[in-house]
């Protein structure tokens, strides 16, 4: 009996040592993904390591990164599911229980007034759900018509100093989040309209980073153009401008003497597809579904403070619940006159890649730029659709080991 207990303890101890050794050898998932440029191949590699990351100190980071990478290859439902398991999804909003008296205003009723009566508009986006990015594209033209000439984006890298002269968005060079096709197209659309992209990301952590970002906005825009009007795209809560929050929006307001219009476009896109969605969000989605024309709504309480969460911004925008065209195309992807292009199994097999990822690059830009759309497909899928503009493309088929380019004209 003693020997049995001893051997059980020994086996357990050896198992523990092995697990600790594996944990010490395990690379941070972002380092693994970096080796392949945070691409489809990165996602493929990480999915093969799933059992190694679950249960380790890297589990949250692993799920967060998977949510971002899934969104890049058109798997939006999987992106949301992984985000729920990580920290990006952490829903700590203090939601009001009583929503019956909430004022909801169709965005179309107040959008012109917001643009005309402000010189700085700050909107935010959800890193794993491009819905908010597609929505922000709809602001670009009206803002430009009203004198906005700069688009500040948190994602921009300082190393791409020629983005405004080149007017294209490079994979792995222009910014981390804009490698996702909708975000890349947001910046592409802005550049084509005549916007100047402005970097404002800063070094440091916590409050130091927020303060330094505000300083960069002043230095990179207002010091050069004191009367400038600009649109800003930030991540999640950084645009908060209420006192006591110590966020970039508040520091900018204090330092620049300009009260920006800050609108949360992300909190209502957290869980639009899943059972974990709370009854408050369901109520707002239902309100939109009951409208003659489904469109975003702005939510206010009776004294026009932020509603339904205490995020410290001027307004909350609830976007319509996502509807999918077949399985992989959300309706919000069909902006700016995009059309659907079907790739069927015969075409896939003809090109010799039974499963993998297909990326559609504008021929005029080349494969170094962010694709207009891309999708990771399985060997059992009979067909899938890409959302593309009319034009000439290079389609890249990639199975994780090799790839080939095929010309396409729409």
Per residue in 1-54, pLDDT tens?
444 443 444 344 434 334 443 556 899 999 999 999 999 999 999 999 999 999
Cα-trace Rg, the chain: 23
pLDDT in tens, 99-132: 555 678 899 999 999 999 999 999 998 888 899 9
The average pLDDT across 127-141 equals 93
User: What was the pLDDT predicted at 293?
Assistant: 86
Where residue 194 falls (left for φ over 0; alpha for ψ -120 to 50; beta otherwise) is left
pLDDT in tens, 71-104: 999 999 899 889 888 776 554 444 444 455 567 8
pLDDT surpassing 80 at residue 159: yes
- Top-confidence residue, 2 or 409: 409
Residue 337 dihedral angles phi and psi, to the nearest 5°:
80, 20
Question: Whole-structure pTM over 0.85, yes or no?
Answer: yes
Cβ 201 vs Cβ 213: under 8 Å: yes
Question: What's the angle, vertex CA 169, arms to CA 40 and CA 38, rounded to 5?
Answer: 25
Listed in sequence order, the residues at least 6 apart from 386 whose beta carbon sits closer than 8 Å to its beta carbon are 340, 341, 343, 358, 360, 372, 373, 374, 375
Cβ 88 vs Cβ 79: under 8 Å: no
User: What was the pLDDT predicted at 270?
Assistant: 55
Complete domains list, the chain, with CATH: 2-85 (no CATH), 103-318 (3.40.50), 337-409 (no CATH)
pLDDT in tens, 264-315: 888 766 555 444 445 556 677 788 888 888 999 987 655 445 444 556 788 8
């Amino acid at each position: 009996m003693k020997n049995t207990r001893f051997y059980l303890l020994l086996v357990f101890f050896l198992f523990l040592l092995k697990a600790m050794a594996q944990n010490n050898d395990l690379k941070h998932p972002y380092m693994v993904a970096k080796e392949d440029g945070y691409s489809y191949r990165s996602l493929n590699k990480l999915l093969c390591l799933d059992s190694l990351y679950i249960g380790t100190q890297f589990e949250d980071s692993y799920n967060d990164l998977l949510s971002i990478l899934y969104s890049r290859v058109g798997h939006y439902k999987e992106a949301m599911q992984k985000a729920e398991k990580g920290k990006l999804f952490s829903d700590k909003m203090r939601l009001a229980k009583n929503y019956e008296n909430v004022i909801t205003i169709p965005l179309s009723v107040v959008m012109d007034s917001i643009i005309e009566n402000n010189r700085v508009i700050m909107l935010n986006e959800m890193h794993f759900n491009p819905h908010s990015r597609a929505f922000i594209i709809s602001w670009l033209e009206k803002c430009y018509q009203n004198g906005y000439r700069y688009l500040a984006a948190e994602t921009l890298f300082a190393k791409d100093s020629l983005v405004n002269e080149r007017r294209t968005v490079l994979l792995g060079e222009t910014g981390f989040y804009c490698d996702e096709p909708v975000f890349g197209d947001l910046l592409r659309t802005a550049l084509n309209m005549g916007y100047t992209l402005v970097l404002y990301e800063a070094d440091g952590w916590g409050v130091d980073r927020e303060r330094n970002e505000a300083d960069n906005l002043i230095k990179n825009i207002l010091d050069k153009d004191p009367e400038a009007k600009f649109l800003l795209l930030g991540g999640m809560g950084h645009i908060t401008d209420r006192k006591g929050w110590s966020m970039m929006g508040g520091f900018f307001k204090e330092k620049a003497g300009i009260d920006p219009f800050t609108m949360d476009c992300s909190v209502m896109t957290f869980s639009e597809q899943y059972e974990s969605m709370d009854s408050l969000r369901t109520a707002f989605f239902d309100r939109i579904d009951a409208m003659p024309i489904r469109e975003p709504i702005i939510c206010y309480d009776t004294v026009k403070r932020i509603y339904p969460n205490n995020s410290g911004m001027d307004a909350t925008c609830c976007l319509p619940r996502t509807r999918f065209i077949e399985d992989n195309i959300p309706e919000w992807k069909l902006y700016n006159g995009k059309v659907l292009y079907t790739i069927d199994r015969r075409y896939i097999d003809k090109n010799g890649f039974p499963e993998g990822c297909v990326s559609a690059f504008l021929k005029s830009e080349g494969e170094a730029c962010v694709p207009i759309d891309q999708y990771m497909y399985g060997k059992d899928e009979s067909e899938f659709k890409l959302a593309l503009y009319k034009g000439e493309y290079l389609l890249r088929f990639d199975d994780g080991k090799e790839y080939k380019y095929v010309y396409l004209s729409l």
